[in-house]
Structure 1
Amino acid sequence: MESLNLTLAESLMIISPKSNGNEMIKITLMDLLLKKALKIDILEQESRFLKRRYDAIVISNGESSHDLAFKPHEQLLMDLIFKYGELDLKEFAKKLYGTIRASDYMDMYIRVPLVNEGYFERQRKMILALIPYNTYVLTDKGDELKSKIMNLLDEAEYLEKWMREDLPHAKAYLSVIGSHILLLKNYDIGDIKRFNKKLSYIKPESNTNDYYSYYLYTVPFTYLDDFDNLQSFDFLDISLLDNFDSFDDFFSDFDAGSGDSGGDGGGDGGGGD
């Protein structure tokens, strides 16, 4: 089986080039959490000023933090935790945005590497024949990659049916998309927990390569069989989000810490297909 070797942020850039840097940072953080490169704990802390206790989301190294090879946009986030050991989510956001603007994060660490790999090309255009600007468009190679991503993501419309009628297919599907399920607007934390719970109890026998010829992301070799085929597995440990009812709940602290420096002003101009 072929791995497309994509992170969530890279896939989002390919299928939706006009996404903003804040989105890229958030889904990269979530991706690292679900890969167990990072972990979160809910700790009770005391406000220095109001002398009031509150629950803080604290990020630290996860069990896989030294076992995975990180891409530049992932390494930037990991380096903060390697440096400080642990940070609450607000402080993590403050330190990150004190280092780089969200728009620069997206351009320098996600888009430029994809340009270098031949998925985008930069085009010089003019506004009213007076003001030059750069835009990025998918190459033929990028269009082919986008089609592969969308072909898998579009199959999500059958997932509920497979959960009722074909559990091996459901497990194989969730195995090949992994954390990319976060790119699907029609499933939330509750749905993901429900899928995981049902499939982990039943543990259907399924060969992923009976259903699919490729998967979206990089997986540890322990998930591959002797022929490099991806094995079906309980695809996400969503228990790390048990304290939250939605992704917005999780990121409320992050947004509170981002301040005005996280904006996406300026840049090279918009992307487009």
Structure 2
Amino acid sequence: MIIDHKANSKGSSTKNLLKVTLIDLIFKNVYSLDVKEVEKKGIFGKKTVKKIYLKEGKNFNLPLKPHEEVFRKYLPRKANSKRLRKLQQRVYRAYGSKYAKKKLLEPLSSEGYFTVEKKFSGRKYSLSDKGIKTQQMILKLKNEGKDLENWVETDPEKAKAYFLMGGSNIFLTDDYYFDWFKNNSKKIAALFIGVAIVGVAYRFSNIRWYSAFSRRSHDIDFDDFDDFGSFDDNSFNDIFSDSDIFDTFDSMDFDDF
């Protein structure tokens, strides 16, 4: 929203925003995915199918932002294989194309990232000084990671430091990286098995993405190297070592029945 709020406020972007938010909640262990192979009886005999179970994660009670909270509000109680699909449907039905404005743009404006000007045709949103500063920070961090693909092969400690700095915001870079993560998930998972970081994180700007968008986002100090706290090495190892989870991410489409 901060990089391009006009494009992301359109209804056509809603499904992608919902998808990214849900993936983020899974990465932060607010939710967890369990992919199981089960036998299913049919007319022509038995066959093995994969069923996806969405479960409450260890950080389920973590304080959430408005655009995240809707996924807890509409969570079906019954934890069966239809739970993930039902959650997507419920959230999409509740907000549809209004999700971006109501749960992202307006809350960010109230926190000072946008200025709002009343026009005859409606409200006009523009980045404030705080928003511009944040936008520049995000673009800088994205640019610093432009060689991430090569670092996985040539400088694994630097790659790991960048992953930990960005957390699941890594998935906000672009579509190319999401596909690349999926195709190289085993290599990435290997980074988080017994690989130490010794001061490598400080090669990057000493700003964590999560610090900028934490719950205390009022009066942000951009020199704060505060850790978000819900990430550790296992968060990345658990996700990247299970290619079935990436297939699940691909299947998230938020189509409303």
Q: After TM superposition, is the score higher than 0.5?
A: yes
Deviation, structure 1 residue 46 = 6.2
The reply on whether 1:168 has 2:168 as its aligned counterpart is: no
Structure 1 regions of 5+ residues with no counterpart? 1-12, 127-131, 220-226, 261-273
2:220 alignment partner in structure 1: none
Alignment-derived partner of residue 114 in structure 1: 108
Tell me the distance in 2 between the aligned counterparts of 1:174 and 1:159. Answer: 9
Query: Which residue is equivalent to 2:133?
Result: 144
The separation in 2 between residues aligned to 1:75 and 1:83, in whole angstroms, is: 16
Q: What is the correspondence of 1:190-269 to structure 2 with a 5 Å cutoff?
A: 190-206=183-199, 208-209=201-202, 211-217=204-210, 230=227, 234=233, 236=236, 237-239=238-240, 241-243=242-244, 250-252=249-251, 254-255=252-253, 258-259=255-256
**SS of the residue 1:258 aligns to:** coil
Say whether 1:61 aligns with 2:61: no
Q: Which amino acid aligns with 1:64?
A: N
Query: Cα deviation per residue 1:174-224 (whole Å; 9 max; x = unaligned)?
Result: 1111111112233232234422313434334335245331101158xxxxx
Cross-structure match for 1:155: 144
Which one-letter code corresponds to 2:87 in the other structure? F
The secondary structure found in structure 1 opposite 2:75 is helix
Structure 1 residues 14 and 240: CA distance shift in structure 2, 3 A: farther
* Aligned-partner SS, 1:160: helix
Q: Measure the CA separation in 2 of the matches of 1:85 and 1:97.
A: 19
User: Using a 3 Å threshold, how does the CA distance of structure 1 residues 46 and 161 change in structure 2: closer, same or farther?
Assistant: closer
Q: Normalising to structure 2: TM-score of the pair?
A: 0.74
Deviations 1:105-157 (A, max 9, x none): 2211111110001111223446xxxxx23332211211110010111011221
The residue number in structure 2 matching 1:8 is: none
**Partner amino acid for 1:174?**
F
The two structures, once aligned, show a CA RMSD in angstroms of 3.4
One-letter code of the match for 1:90? R
Letter of the 2:71 counterpart: L
Distance of 2:102 and 2:46 partners within structure 1: 41
Question: Identity percentage over the alignment?
Answer: 25
- Shift of residue 45, structure 1, vs aligned partner: 8.2
Question: Structure 1 residue 238: deviation in Å?
Answer: 1.6
CA contact (8 A) 1:169 1:211 kept: no
- Which consecutive residues of structure 2, in runs of 5 or more, have no partner in the other structure? 215-223
For residue 177 of structure 1, what is the aligned residue in structure 2? Answer: 166
Contact 1:45 1:56 in 2 (8 A): no
Query: TM-score scaled to structure 1, two decimals?
Result: 0.70
Q: CA deviation at 1:62?
A: 1.1
In the aligned structure 2, how far is the partner of 1:210 from the partner of 1:194?
22
Is structure 2 residue 4 aligned with structure 1 residue 16? Answer: yes
State the alpha-carbon separation in 2 of the partners of residues 121 and 85 from structure 1.
42
Shift in Å, 1:47? 9.7
**1: CA distance, partners of 2:83 / 2:41:** 13
The aligned length equals 230
Cα separation, 1, equivalents of 2:186 and 2:116: 41
* Contact 1:171–1:206 (CA under 8 A) maintained in structure 2: no
Whether 2:30 is the aligned partner of 1:31: answer no
Deviations 1:153-178 (A, max 9, x none): 11221223433443332222111111
Measure, in 1, the Cα distance between the counterparts of 2:101 and 2:226.
Answer: 34
Q: Distance in 2 between matches of 1:114 and 1:32?
A: 19
State the distance in 2 between where 1:56 and 1:24 align: 24
| Larger RCO (alpha carbons 8 Å, 6+ apart) | 1
Deviation sequence 1:39-95 (CA, Å, 0-9, x none) = 1123448699xx9975332212012213x2211221110223374455532222222
Displacement after TM superposition at 1:22 (Å): 1.7
